[in-house]
Structure 1
Amino acid sequence: MKLRLLPAFAVLTLAFAFASADAADAPKPLKVLLITGGCCHDYAKQKDILKEGIEKRANVVVDQIHTDDKSTKPPLPIYGNPDYAKGYDVIIHDECAAGISDQSVVEGVLAPHRAGIPGVNLHCAMHCYRIGNANDPVTDLDAPHAFWFQYLGLQSSGHGPQEPIAVSFLDKEHPISKGLADWTTIKEEHYNNIKILDTAHPLAHGLQKVKVKTKQADGTETVEEKSVDWVDIWTNLYQGKTRVFSTTLGHNNETVASDEYLNLVTRGVLWAAGHLNDDGTPATGYGPGGK
């Protein structure tokens, strides 16, 4: 009986060894830090929409730093801590901190990205950490005024009324946009483009129709429809080494929860981390469930 059981036991032991080896070789989930809070948005819900949506679409674990403070100077614990991103593969900035302009604080937020940790920036992150007048186009990249815009690759200072945005991809062959269809959002904020830096690579632009009122000399008002066309999805190579993905879309919960948005952001995360295939699919081991 013992002689008959030995081969079966040996097979089971060998199978277990192979399974253990496969598990050890399997890619570990990407560690992503999502930062939310501040003015003007429903971050309490959006942080969970993003976490659930990204983790569902990729082999990613999203940790959160969040504050319910709705001021333009939210008390996020990353401020004054240049090591806040230690141990993470990608940082998602989705905070709205338009009132924070202290140079030392801004440089602390940028420290991990200057060291090479990739970044993903959503919506109001484009209007954070502005030193000086955001409407003044960046000219000197070494000046503090340029610090945050240099990281983003695009300078924006504001937006118009909420109206639908027709999103059209400009580079349909980029891994992030490959196979993604153009779409039209619900009523959304459309961020302006003060300047697109040379390091940025536009992926999509948005066309939004807005009504403009003009007061005539006789006191009457005329209303005309105007088309506003801005880049709203792009990549950037920060300081020649750090991958950065950004989109100005994502004001309302319905937009953030849409498949179009979550698919786009997930691809942005994977691309920034270097785990997105040329055809837009996750690299082996980084798809849903580690596939």
Structure 2
Amino acid sequence: MITERATVCGHQVAVLRRDPDADDGVDPCFFEADFTVAASTARLIWEGSWALVELLRRERDSWLRELVRGRRVLELGAGTGMLGLAAAAAGGHVLMTDVASMTEESLAPNVRANVAAGGGCPSWTGSDSAVSSGSAAAQALDWLLPLEAQRHPVDVFAAEIVLAAECAWLEELVDPFVATLAALLAPRRASVCIFAFRERARASSTCFVSGEEVLRRLGRAGCDVRRREAVAGRPGMEEAAGGNTTQIFEVRRRGAGADACR
């Protein structure tokens, strides 16, 4: 395992991630009911997450930092928790979610390693703990199961902001992701999702889905999507399909206002 660190608003967060070049043998979650090839990527930190972390770290005009500060933030497909912990360090009150096996094996341990003992936040529930001026918690959330049955111990429908970074790039993930996000953005629920997408699909791809197709399905589900900006990737991380750029989008339910992102 490799330790990755990021400093946001003067506070350092650190997570353990898998070394893709190491021969780790059988995945510890291989025999879990929710294990999939897609879920096994959760112990890596993808470029889309780093792109949003960099926006949180931006010294001037960090619209994302202002957006999450003091808000109840839900992260979908949180993986190692690097992005969610960075959002907590920026002042957000963050509930990070992933499938149960990955939450137990990777996400929850990383969250526990970063929270301050005895710190809590009244804006979610008593299950989260302080990270700098924000707070963090981890909870299982499976997009293939009804959300109504997954509202405990923390109610995911209480979120004000949703973060999703590179968690809908495989064909098998897109429709469950879109349905989950549309439900979270329903009236009187979260106002906006900040969605990071890095193009990996080629014209011949059958497993990977293009950004255009993901946005089309979001539109079909009743969501409006606006491109916010493009973030350059780290040197050496070019992709044959999409170069070295992550696209950042704002996603809302159709007809909802844009005040949350101003």
Question: TM class by shorter-chain length?
Answer: 0.3 to 0.5
Higher RCO (C-alpha under 8 Å, 6+ residues apart): 1
**TM-score (norm: length of structure 2):** 0.37
Flag the structure with larger Rg.
1
